Amino acid sequence: MNLDEVQWAYPLMMVVIVEIILGILIIRKNPKHRTNQLAAGVQFTVALWIFGDIGLKFSTVYADAQAWSFIVWIGAVFIPSTVLHFLILFIRALPQSKMKYLWTIHIVSVVLFPFIILEQLDIGLAVDSYEGMWAANAEGFVYTLYGLYLLICVYLGLFLLWKGYVKIKNKVERSQAFYIAIGMTIAGIFGPLFSVILPILDLEINLTGGIFPFIMVSFFGYAMLKYNLFDIEHIVEEAKPAIESLRLDPGTTYIIKEAGSNNSYEIFRGMVSQTPGLCITSFYPQKLRNEYKLEKTPIVWITETSTDEKKLSPYRLEFEILYTIETFMKDGDNTTVMIDDLKYLSMVNGFDKTLDFLKSINDVAAMNNAAIIIPINPSRFSEREIFQIRSIFDETIDLGRGESKILEEDDVSSYSFIFEEESPAQACELLRSSKLKKLCITSQFPSKLKEKFELPDMEMHWLTTSSKSEEKTLKPSRLDFEITQTIAEFLRKEKGLVFIYGLDALIMENGLPMVNDFLKTIIDIASVSEGTIMVSINPGSLKKREMSVLESRFDIVRKPVVAANSVS
């Protein structure tokens, strides 16, 4: 047992643990996706090789060394084919129809392994020491053959990776490919040099060969875990839609002009009873499943809220959202994708970036015979913006204002309301009738509001810059901190009703985009917590387009006229 080599064993054991953890995390990140499965497989094969190498370093007799060498070779012989399999799958080097035959790449490893074991046994008859075994092993024919096989797989993989990197347009895949290429390059240059070439030339340097595969798989792991990516199943709804709706042509991209998104969802529901579908939305998925009977169709929620739902950040438009949609269309045939709340994405990312995003997914849809459905409310965009959006897509369907729906239940829980009225009379009436525990955020002095509208006892916070009041106060400028945190804590604890009176004051202080984002956040939290949000605002405080943008955030829009109750 070489003491210098044993010193390497302890850090290498930590390396094995790290690789196993990385493999588990990659699998958990996206358990059904073959790319993640292969990436985890790379981690586990390298971990097995290094684990066997650790056992070798502690071996004091030849018999033990030979047993551990078999473990080393189980991992080592499958590393070339597993890495190459992963890379071909990752960069889509083969047509989708031929990907299922990729497993044949492992046949060489399977055939090579018994010959390596036989050569190990032959070497065992000729030598009587651990050092003698490895000296003879380095001169063995099969070992040399394995070295050539390793070099071919590594450099073929590098060639395919860099070639694919040039063609990849999606920023997520380019970023992942870049980190994988760095790891592969380091391992491809130094790994074969120290593990294969130098021993063949009788130039051995006391450096463990496992360090280079570890560097490689570390880059692999970072690339696969950096983004919030997951597998989207290609599923067709079994049941036919309850409502007969307009049927669209497969492989065509559509803009649907309507006041809300109700008809667009009905159309989407009809499409996904024939083709696999994907819905990208800023609205709570469970409500959409219940409303439109989307029992199997995957729905990805655009939100920053903690949830068990599949979710993506609205700020990752050019990365995660684009990648998810493009991958879904590339991995399946005749798919249908619906993207709801385009206005919100454009407010968060800017209209130009959102337009580039639409161009990208439209191009991928054209190449993969996929249909896209995007509802837009014309009142929320300028004429120039609508013209630019329409120019990208194949067809535009104008459904006018569409059908509105009225809330029939007396129980207001789990809904979000906006009351457009000069005084909060309607909102306070509903507030008094609700049995939920209540929190009020108001720009009016709380005692006066309670007295004027005969409000029941509830927790109240006054929006003010004053710090001398005996009332609980919140600074209007602390929208992302104090106000959001206060509402979030209440909803998660009580599952109650939050009433906000003074939204116009928050808009004056913070601007409409920030307030819109604030509303999105608290409504998302309320959806997950089964809470209720009610907002009262004077319609004269905003322009028509600004008011329309605010309305899009809520389930129920109540105008000054009682008969105008509607779902946005």
pLDDT per residue rounded down to tens, the chain (568 residues): 455 555 666 777 888 898 899 999 988 877 777 888 899 999 999 899 888 878 877 777 767 777 888 888 888 889 889 999 998 888 877 776 677 788 888 998 998 888 877 766 665 544 444 444 444 454 567 777 887 888 888 888 888 888 888 877 777 888 888 888 888 888 777 766 776 666 667 665 555 556 777 888 889 888 888 877 777 888 999 877 766 667 788 889 999 999 888 889 999 999 999 899 999 999 999 999 988 989 899 999 999 888 888 899 999 898 889 989 998 998 888 899 999 999 999 999 999 999 999 999 999 999 999 999 999 999 899 999 999 999 999 999 988 754 444 444 445 667 899 999 888 888 888 888 888 899 999 998 888 888 888 888 889 999 988 777 778 889 999 998 899 999 999 999 988 999 999 888 899 999 998 999 999 999 999 999 999 999 999 888 888 888 888 888 898 888 765 444 443 3
Spatial distance between the Cα atoms of 411 and 294, rounded to a whole number of angstroms: 24
For residue 318, the 8-state DSSP code is I
Q: Provide CB contacts within 8 A for 245, sequence distance 6+.
A: 263, 266, 267, 269, 270
Spatial distance between the Cα atoms of 482 and 495, rounded to a whole number of angstroms: 19
Pairing of strands 473-474, 336-339: unpaired
Pairing of strands 566-567, 299-302: unpaired
For residue 417, report the phi and psi dihedrals to the nearest 5 degrees: -120, 145
Q: Would you state the pLDDT for residue 135?
A: 46
- H/E run at residue 78: helix 62-91
Spatial distance between the Cα atoms of 216 and 200, rounded to a whole number of angstroms: 23
Q: Would you state the pLDDT for residue 409?
A: 44
pTM for this prediction: 0.74
CATH topology of domain 416-567: Rossmann fold (3.40.50)
Spatial distance between the Cα atoms of 438 and 498, rounded to a whole number of angstroms: 6
- H/E run at residue 494: helix 484-494
Spatial distance between the Cα atoms of 295 and 291, rounded to a whole number of angstroms: 10
Strand partners, 280: 300, 339
Pick the CATH number of 3-225 from 1.10.490, 3.30.70, 1.10.1740, 1.20.1070: 1.20.1070
Tokens of 149: 């096989």
Spatial distance between the Cα atoms of 528 and 522, rounded to a whole number of angstroms: 10
Spatial distance between the Cα atoms of 482 and 370, rounded to a whole number of angstroms: 45
Spatial distance between the Cα atoms of 286 and 294, rounded to a whole number of angstroms: 9
142: left (phi over 0), alpha (psi -120 to 50) or beta: alpha
Q: Would you state the pLDDT for residue 401?
A: 58
Interhelix angle 211-225/34-57, nearest 10 degrees: 150
Q: Is 401 strand, coil or helix?
A: coil
Spatial distance between the Cα atoms of 514 and 519, rounded to a whole number of angstroms: 9
Q: Do domains 253-398 and 416-567 have the same CATH topology?
A: yes
Q: Would you state the pLDDT for residue 121?
A: 64
Cα 45–Cα 49–Cα 50 angle in degrees, nearest 5:
120
Question: Is 105 exposed, middle or buried (CB count within 10 Å of its CB: 0-12, 13-18, 19+)?
Answer: middle
Q: Do the beta carbons of residue 151 and residue 192 sit within 8 Å?
A: yes
- Domain 253-398: assigned CATH number: 3.40.50.300
Domain ranges of the chain: 3-225, 253-398, 416-567
Alpha-carbon 148 to chain mean position: 39
Q: Would you state the pLDDT for residue 93?
A: 75
Question: Is 568 exposed, middle or buried (CB count within 10 Å of its CB: 0-12, 13-18, 19+)?
Answer: buried
- H/E run at residue 281: strand 277-281
Q: Would you state the pLDDT for residue 4?
A: 53
Question: Is 481 exposed, middle or buried (CB count within 10 Å of its CB: 0-12, 13-18, 19+)?
Answer: exposed
- H/E run at residue 439: strand 438-442
For residue 305, the 8-state DSSP code is S
From 167, 552, 150, select the one nearest 343 (Cα to Cα).
Answer: 552
Spatial distance between the Cα atoms of 101 and 99, rounded to a whole number of angstroms: 5
Q: Would you state the pLDDT for residue 62?
A: 67
Q: Would you state the pLDDT for residue 73?
A: 85
